[in-house]
Amino acid sequence: MLRSMKDLEGCAIAASDGIVGKEKDFLFDDLAWVIRYFVVETGTWLSSRKVLISPIAVQNPNWDEKIFPVLISKDQVKNSPGIDTNKPVSRQHEMDYLNYYGYPYYWIGTNFWGSGIYPYSLYPGNDIFEHSVEGARSANLIHKSIKSQHDQKGDPNLRSCKAIIGYNIHAKDGDIGHVSGFLVEENTWAVRYLIVETSNWWGGHQALIPSAWIYEVQWLDNSISTDLVRKAIKDAPVYEPNKEITQDFEAAVFHHYELAAYWEKIAKTVK
């Protein structure tokens, strides 16, 4: 099921021994278009410090009460590596974080989360987790990754979702609108669509652009580029935030853009 960022923001993170805090933002991978971390503002118990929580630890959310249970304790959160969430998160910071919680590196593999599409497959004790770790060890990938990533000082393409709200959308033949939100698949935490507000251009409507059509996020000039032309976006099925998104509607969107639907690709992957 798809969730908007508005659905997710403000949800409480419930550790095994109490509430950690509330989700304030999300860090997404602008290459894979997947949410990698929740930015959680802790309460007074931790001086309102902001911490990162990985979807790897998330259990089934309680959407009615907006609570996300996680398989960690408050003490683990308290002692987790300090990360300045207002600055780009380096790969070294990620490694420190993942090592602390005992999670494998999600970037070792060809799928969203290592060799799988679901983050919980990387939780310690899971069969896929064990296979992922042993497979990486046998191929000597972990050692090579650690060495190369220790040498890397830069940013591993993690960005704030809030930061790109308002970014202009550059189509092949000109500007078309701006980003007003995202739609995220709750099981994989993949960012499936950008919500585009086109009213600045023709008094128009909101439309969806599949993340697969985005080829560049330009952080210096606050814009996102797509290979689509403006007419394709203008004529896309109208997105209405108050209506449930059915698979029929999604199929119509993908058919309009002449793109294979992501669930068809997933079906091939899991076979």
Per-residue pLDDT for 152 more than 70?
A: no
Is the full-model pTM beyond 0.75? yes
pLDDT tens by residue, 26-41: 999 999 999 999 999 9
Between CA 128 and CA 104 the distance in angstroms is: 11
Say whether pLDDT at 252 is over 70: yes
**Is it the case that residue 135 has pLDDT exceeding 60?**
no
- CB–CB of 165/177 below 8 Å? no
Measured in residues, the chain has a length of: 271
Instruction: Confirm whether 2-159 and 165-270 share one CATH topology.
Output: no
Please write the tens of the pLDDT for every residue from 78-93. Answer: 999 988 888 888 999 9
Residue 40 and residue 54 in contact, taking contact as beta carbons nearer than 8 Å:
no
Residue 6's pLDDT is what?
A: 87
172-184 core/surface letters (b: 16 or more CB in 10 A; e: else): eeeebbbbbbbbb
Q: Was domain 2-159 assigned CATH 2.30.30.240? A: yes
pLDDT at residue 143 greater than cutoff 80:
no
Tokens 């550059």 correspond to 170
The H or E element containing residue 131 is helix 127-138
Q: Which candidate, 266, 237, 265, places its Cα nearest to that of 252?
A: 237
Of residues 48 and 140, more confidently modeled:
48
Q: What are the extents of the domains in the chain?
A: 2-159, 165-270
pLDDT at 109 over 60: yes
% of the chain beyond a pLDDT of 70:
86
Which CATH class, in words, describes the domain spanning 165-270?
alpha beta
For the residues 118-145, what does the mean pLDDT come to? Answer: 63
Question: Is residue 144 predicted with pLDDT exceeding 60?
Answer: no
pLDDT surpassing 80 at residue 128: no
